[in-house]
Amino acid sequence: MADNNNGSNKRHRDESPAKAGRDKRRAKQQSDRRIGPRSEFANTLSQSSPNVGGAITPEDYMAARLNEVRTMQSAIRSASNALTCLVAQALPRDMRRRAASHDLNRLPAHLRARAAQERADTPPNARRKKKGKRKAKADNVLQEYLRRQKENKWLGTHMWHTKRMKMNNIWGYRLARKPNIKSARTIYRAFQHTTVIHDASYMGCLEMEGSYQDIVMVMNHVTDVSLPSVGSERFNHGHRVGHTFLYEYTGCPSQCICPITYLWMPSDDMDGRRKLWIWIHPSSFAEAYTSLQAAQASLSKDITITDQRDQLAVFELSGASSTSLMQIILKPVEEATHVCKDSSPTAKAAQVWRDLRCLRSSSSLPSGVVIGLTVQDPRLDFPQKPAPKTNVIPVEKEARLGELLSQWPKDISQSTIWDADIRNEVQSSMPSEHALNKRREQHLLPGTKLEFTENDSKMPILLVQRGSSESLLRGRQTTCTNELMSGWNIIMPKACALSFWKSFMFAGARAAGYEDVHAMHFESKRPNFPHDFVGTKACVNMLTMAKNESESAWKRRPPAKRFNYEKFGISRPFDPPFDVLTHTTQSEASSSRPAYYTLYGEKIISLVLAAATDDQAQMQARDYFINMFAKRGITMQLDALQLSHALLQIRIEYLDRGRPEANAMIYLIDSDAEYNEISTSYLANRSSKANKARDSDMDIEDEDEVDGDAMDVDKVETKFPPNDDCIGYLTTASFSFNEGCGSGLGACTVTGIRRLQAMDQSRGRSIKGVVWIRNTRAVKCRAARLHVIT
């Protein structure tokens, strides 16, 4: 009986028109509470042959009413289930609030009446009054908030994040780590199909002001000589952002500090005073600031370096719908009727921004282009609703879009955000929420949007197209894989951060923490700073932090239950010993720089890997950097450059099942029999496409990993490659949703990569770059394919 009724209800729901998710839930609840005959349950007597005046038999009458009885029974059960579910429990996870049980305003408006009835029907719980002296609240809440930020600063959106995200003290800030709910797959789907937003205002901004030639001279001494200079023709007009690596004074390539992003203030004057903004990761901000000051003092240049961390906010938007979502929130002031469009310096940029309304992906734009806008206060039109999706682009808009993509205008990056007085004026002139609510009360129709007036705030912002690392840092075109990280950066005055953030949240964007950003770098095969930039102080500090956490968790277990790493020959299981790998010494002081370093740049990597011998690679690398320094007018000898201490960034992909972990070891496969077995199995699985078993096993723990209390290590037969075949370690590793297999990022020695290439070439191996991956808790190695990140 239940199966027939469920099938009838399903047919009834399929015949109803499509509704939104909220309307569907409301219609389902109303349907569950309605008891009565359904339209599809027709009277069987009316379907039979006419028998006017005939007798009604009990069998026919019961058959005619049988469906109605079933419907009544099902409705009673559904109504009972609906009544046992509280209002707060019926909400989706992202709308649930901790205070919703005692503050009805935390619930949606259409559910508050039902919640009030539930509260009235529920008797209050008798609670004993807590005795003791309560801590008096601060008279000035602002002063209390400032006191709590002495050790770790808060971002402008801190109050929103702290209620919905896991917070952590890191890099001198109180940052959102990840959402409170399970969000690994949710964030990944949002990156692919919708919009993800991340508050990156913790990225420190330094402003260098002085003569253009002096700024370029100072930056040439502290940036990567194998990448375009800060004074390159591509970036010095301020129409695009640039990316490079920052080093100690003349310390390239062995003293890397961090990757940086820079932007010139738009101008065509190459002889006057200019401004340059540099964004630096907070883990390396103090070190970078010191390096720039040392370069300025050594060269005796008249340059002013100003800390702008408390002046600017940066939002990173990614995903397929990021452009369309920004179009409904960022409204240029030129669209207001009382604004003169001819006299506005951002009128052309506003028109270009509106012409991009039908742009499907920001990766189609030229890499790193900048659009300067002056937009209206988003609170005037709050809450904004996303535009309906469409696959049809009008012909005239498609033609205009193609014209922009082929010939991008160069005079649309001007913005008043460069002026500190304008930023301060925006902060002082912003109306409060109370003032905006008073204006809304004057409208006769509730919910009417506020009109933009001359007295409202005009917010200057910069829109920066953000592409993949290959397109921005190494000059390559974007690929489908790297489109995960393509999107927009919005640079705005810090006072405007919370207003824009709330508008993006209500419009459908999903917030991401710094761990989610790290995961998306991993999915797009991009190294993430500082986790994967081996050889920097920030990476050493990050690895030390992870080591202390893992080691303390291991020591908290009873001695008999701990995993015996020593039995498996692993001396340092909680951090990758790159110092041992490169035969260098690592100081215990956190402020010291490691002796090993990483080479960046496609040209130098190709040069050292193509050399015939190690000594020839050493000489070619030294000559290359000497020539690159000479092109910038810098004389260097580089006698102390040791290629044996150099590392290369790599990524690996498992050929079969398994899931790698951080600190996993990378070994060469010296045995031809083992290699032939791996290649035969890989080619067989690839041709048959029978990978269902592999896919089903990826989400569970690898059975090759041994738990200390689950298996006696003395009874486990282990056979691992010799330590001399170890060429690197993984710094970030897990199961990749994008690749559908185990994947990882790490670093290998230059000599190790050269051994791998020589082995593949001399032995005629068909699949290049096959290596062993050994987790620290595994009893066997897994085969993977290694790729060098250039």
* Whole-number Å distance between alpha carbons of 611 and 239: 39
Q: What is the pLDDT of residue 32?
A: 62
In the structure encoding, which two tokens stand for residue 217, read together? Answer: 């001279």
Return the SS3 of 430: coil
Using alpha carbons, select from 80, 71, 79 the residue that is nearest to residue 28: 79
Q: What stretches of 61-154 adopt beta strand conformation (E)? A: none
Q: Is the pTM of this model over 0.85?
A: no
The Cα 341–Cα 356 span in angstroms is 19
- Measured CA to CA, the distance from residue 215 to residue 194 in angstroms comes to 40
Q: How far apart are CA 405 and CA 427, in angstroms?
A: 35
Alpha carbon distances (Å) from 723 to 162, 419, 569, 576, 749: 46, 58, 10, 14, 14
Check whether the bond before 577 is cis (ω within 30° of 0).
Answer: no
Residue whose structure tokens are 């955000």: 417
Cβ(406)–Cβ(349) under 8 Å? no
The counts of H helices and E strands in the chain are 26, 20
Cα-Cα-Cα-Cα dihedral sign, residues 524, 227, 649, 279: negative
Instruction: Give dist(CA 116, CA 391) in Å, integer.
Output: 44
Count of Cβ atoms closer than 10 Å to residue 742 Cβ: 26
In the block, residue with structure tokens 């253009």: 212
Query: Helix axis angle, 285-299 relative to 212-220, nearest 10°?
Result: 120
pLDDT confidence of residue 716: 55
Residue 667 near residue 721, CB atoms below 8 Å = yes
The phi, psi pair for 274, rounded to 5°, reads: -130, 165
The Cα 126–Cα 738 span in angstroms is 53
| Cβ atoms within 10 Å of 146's Cβ, excluding its own | 11
Interstrand relation of 646-654 and 597-598 (parallel, antiparallel or unpaired):
parallel
Q: What is the DSSP letter of 578?
A: H
> Is residue 519 within 8 Å of residue 496, measured between CB atoms?
no
C-alpha 15: how far from its chain's center?
41
* Rounded Cα gap, residues 150 and 661, in angstroms: 36
Q: Are 505 and 547 in contact (CB under 8 A)?
A: no
Q: State which amino acid sits at residue 759.
A: M
Q: Cα separation of 127 and 382, whole Å?
A: 41
**Sheet of 204-211: strands edge to edge?**
242-247, 256-264, 273-280, 204-211, 303-307
Q: For residue 191, which of 469, 516, 472 has the smallest C-alpha distance?
A: 516
Q: How many other β-carbons are positioned within 10 Å of the β-carbon of residue 498?
A: 18
- Residue 528's SS3 state is coil
Q: Which residue has the tokens 């390159």?
A: 232
Bridge partners, residue 783, by sequence:
772
Answer yes or no: are the C-beta atoms of 736 and 652 closer than 8 Å. no
What single DSSP character describes residue 282? G
What is the CA 34 to chain-centroid distance, rounded? 46
Tell which residue, 263, 280, 245, 287, has the closest CA to residue 604. Answer: 245
Report helix angle 21-33 to 58-83, nearest 10: 130
Report the relative pairing of strands 510-511 and 196-199 from DSSP bridges.
parallel
- Alpha-carbon distance 117 to 242, whole Å? 59
DSSP per residue, 500-542: HHHHHHHTT-EE--HHHHHHHHHHTT---TTTT-TTSHHHHHH
CA dist 252 and 629 (Å) reads: 9
How far, in Å, CA of 458 to CA of 374, rounded? 6
Cβ atoms of 675 and 783 closer than 8 Å? no
Give the H or E element holding residue 352.
Answer: helix 347-355
Whole-angstrom distance, CA of residue 339 vs CA of residue 331: 13
Residue carrying the six token digits 């993949």: 468
Residue ranges for the chain with pLDDT beneath 70: 1-22, 29, 31-54, 77-83, 98-99, 130-139, 337-342, 468-485, 586-591, 687-718
Give the pLDDT of residue 701: 45
Closest C-alpha to 506, from 379, 394, 621, 390: 379
Backbone angles phi, psi at 748, to 5 degrees: -130, 155
- Ranges of beta strands (E only) in 149-255 are 165-170, 173-179, 196-199, 204-211, 242-247
> Does residue 192 contact residue 302 with C-beta atoms inside 8 Å?
no
CA 197 to chain centre: 8
Q: What is the pLDDT of residue 699?
A: 44
Bridging pattern class, strands 173-179 and 726-736 = unpaired
Closest CA to 365 of 461, 465, 463, 483: 465
Please name each of the domains of the chain with its CATH number: 2-84 (no CATH), 152-202+310-430+452-531 (3.30.1360.120), 204-307 (3.30.70.1400), 551-788 (no CATH)
* Residue 370, SS3 per DSSP: strand
CA distance 353 to 332: 9
| 220 close to 634: Cβ distance less than 8 angstroms | yes
* SS3 label, residue 732: strand
Q: How many residues does the structure list for the chain?
A: 790
User: Do 195 and 209 touch, CB atoms closer than 8 A?
Assistant: no
**Helix or strand holding residue 550 (H, E):** helix 537-555
In the three-class reduction of DSSP (H, G, I as helix; E, B as strand; rest coil), residue 121 is classed as helix
Q: CB-side exposure of 752: number of CA atoms within 13 Å?
A: 30
CA angle 37, 40, 45 (to 5 degrees): 80
CB 433 within 8 A of CB 381: no
Q: Which tokens in the block code for residue 517? A: 């950003």
- Rounded (10°) angle between helices 602-610 and 614-631: 150
